[in-house]
């Protein structure tokens, strides 16, 4: 194994893009976040322009025959580790994998995670390849449901282990603000651009009083929660559920 920053420490950034009708959904938002995240963790991308990266993605979609599915785009820092130096040249690599749509259960169950988010972490809001904490949170959640809400060190709602969260109360839509340490999801951003929504720092009891709860991500799309902490949630026809059908 080469002693690179990616191999030893997971130094990389990624995004998962929804593919619809062979086209990447919300591409501009994904690319902008990749660039911002790469800058935050110190990954150089001189060899990868947006045009080149999109061309590589389009080629992968066509080669793999993906019509409606998803793709993961990852930039890895292949430079030598300062702690375990080697004679490997400093470079960044691009990796793209594609797949079918994630299966989403009709009766989506949501619980609360025992694992907190550190809103002051330098990786807060960054979709880095250091994703083991999220995966462990998701694994624990699946002993009781399909996803789990994570709180930060102040007890504020941040989002799911692998998703952003919205909730409806008295016809007002809410979502955690970025100050909570939540991920600035691309689907989240799209919702905020198209619907009136309040970004808040809210305690978990706000979900207990909610009339409806929604999770958003490239993999899930926009999904309504059927059960929260063993409480059955009433179905709604809120416009958020139809939002993605209005775009490519």
Per-residue pLDDT tens digits for 196-240 = 999 999 999 999 999 999 999 999 999 999 999 989 999 999 999
pLDDT at residue 180 in the model: 98
Maximum distance among all Cα pairs of the chain, rounded to whole angstroms: 61
Compute the residue count for the chain. 248
Residue 134, pLDDT > 70, answer yes
Inform me whether the pLDDT recorded for 248 exceeds 60: no
| 28-36 long-range contacts, CB within 8 A, separation 24+ | 29/186, 29/189, 29/190, 30/73, 30/186, 30/218, 33/127, 33/184, 33/186, 34/73, 34/75
Give the separation between CA 185 and CA 198, rounded to whole angstroms: 16
Residue pLDDT, tens place only, 151-204? 999 999 999 999 999 999 999 999 999 999 999 999 999 999 999 999 999 999
d(CA 132, CA 156): 22
Establish how many alpha carbons lie within 13 A of residue 175's alpha carbon, considering only the half-sphere containing its beta carbon: 27
Short-list 71, 6, 75, CA closest to 34:
75
pLDDT for 135 equals: 95
Q: Indicate the SS3 state at residue 194.
A: helix
User: Phi, psi at residue 28, to the nearest 5°?
Assistant: -60, -35
Q: Where are the alpha helices (DSSP H) in the chain?
A: 5-9, 27-41, 50-64, 132-141, 186-194, 205-208
pLDDT digits (tens, 9 = 90+) for 74-133: 999 998 877 777 776 668 999 999 999 988 998 999 999 999 999 999 999 999 999 999
pLDDT tens per residue across span 36-62: 999 999 999 988 999 999 999 999 999
Domains of the chain, first to last = 5-100 (3.30.470.10), 109-246 (3.20.10.10)
């Amino acid at each position: 194994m080469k002693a690179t920053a990616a191999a030893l420490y997971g130094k990389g950034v990624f995004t998962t893009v929804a593919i619809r009708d062979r086209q990447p959904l919300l591409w501009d938002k994904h690319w902008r976040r990749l660039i911002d995240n790469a800058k935050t963790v110190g990954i150089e991308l001189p060899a990868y322009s947006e045009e080149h990266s999109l061309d590589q993605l389009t080629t992968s979609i066509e080669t793999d025959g993906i019509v409606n599915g998803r793709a993961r785009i990852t930039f890895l820092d292949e430079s030598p580790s300062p702690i375990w130096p080697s004679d490997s040249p400093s470079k960044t690599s691009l990796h793209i994998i594609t797949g079918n749509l994630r299966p989403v259960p009709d009766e989506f169950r949501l619980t609360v995670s025992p694992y907190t988010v550190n809103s002051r972490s330098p990786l807060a809001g960054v979709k880095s390849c250091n994703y083991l904490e999220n995966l462990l949170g998701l694994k624990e959640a699946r002993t009781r449901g399909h996803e789990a809400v994570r709180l930060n060190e102040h007890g504020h709602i941040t989002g799911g282990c692998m998703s952003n969260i919205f909730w409806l109360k008295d016809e007002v839509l809410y979502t955690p603000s970025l100050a909570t340490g939540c991920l600035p999801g691309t689907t989240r951003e799209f919702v905020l651009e198209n619907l009136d929504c309040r970004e808040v720092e809210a305690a978990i009891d706000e979900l207990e009083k909610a009339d409806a709860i929604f999770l958003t991500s490239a993999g899930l799309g926009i999904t309504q929660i059927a059960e929260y902490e063993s409480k059955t949630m009433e179905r709604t026809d809120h416009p958020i559920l139809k939002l993605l059908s209005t775009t490519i």
